Amino acid sequence: MTTPPTPLSLDQVADRMEHMLLRYQELQKTAALLQGQLQEVTQERDSLKSRLSAARARVDALLARLPAEPAAPVAAAPATAPATCSVWGQPQAAQPSPAAKDDSQ
């Protein structure tokens, strides 16, 4: 046999109502704070979109200034190192580069 639910007293109902009212007010404050944050983030997003668009336009303008055909390749630097080099102000004998070793064999 189940026991019937105990009826709530008027004081218990009043306490619950007060608790619910406080919770409602807290939720309203939280919602207002979140709405403000959303506005700030939306403005920041819009600003970043605008900056991105301006940067893309600058890149497109720079790309348009590039020649249509690539220039002739620049001659490669010699594979050998100079006979001497300076390390921390001290003259040092240069080490032959690996490419120079391959050529001599």
> What amino acid is encoded at 52 in this protein?
L
* Domain housing 33: 10-66
Residue 4 placed within a domain: no
User: What is the mean predicted confidence (pLDDT) over 78-91?
Assistant: 61
In a domain, 35, yes or no: yes
Q: How many CA atoms lie within 13 A of 27 on its CB side?
A: 6
pLDDT of residue 73: 72
Within a domain: 52: yes
Q: For residue 94, how far is the Cα from the chain centroid?
A: 44
Question: How many domains are there within the chain?
Answer: 1
Residue 88 within a domain: no
In a domain, 1, yes or no: no
Task: Supply the mean pLDDT for the chain.
Answer: 83
Mean pLDDT, range 77-105, rounded to an integer: 59
Query: Which pLDDT score, from 0 to 100, does residue 69 have?
Result: 81
The residue whose two tokens read 């010699």 is 78
Tokens 């006979």 belong to which residue?
83
Q: What percent of the chain has pLDDT over 70?
A: 69
Can you give the pTM of this predicted structure? Answer: 0.50
**pLDDT attached to residue 90:** 62
Query: How many Å apart are CA 80 and CA 96, to the nearest integer?
Result: 6
- Tell me, yes or no, whether 82 lies in a domain: no
Please check whether residue 44 lies inside any domain of the structure. yes
Whether 47 is covered by a domain: the verdict is: yes
- The residue ranges of DSSP E strands in 27-75, in sequence order, are none
Looking at residue 8, its amino acid is: L
pLDDT score of 21: 99
Q: What is the pLDDT of residue 105?
A: 47
The tens digit of pLDDT for each residue in 14-45 reads: 999 999 999 999 999 999 999 999 999 999 99
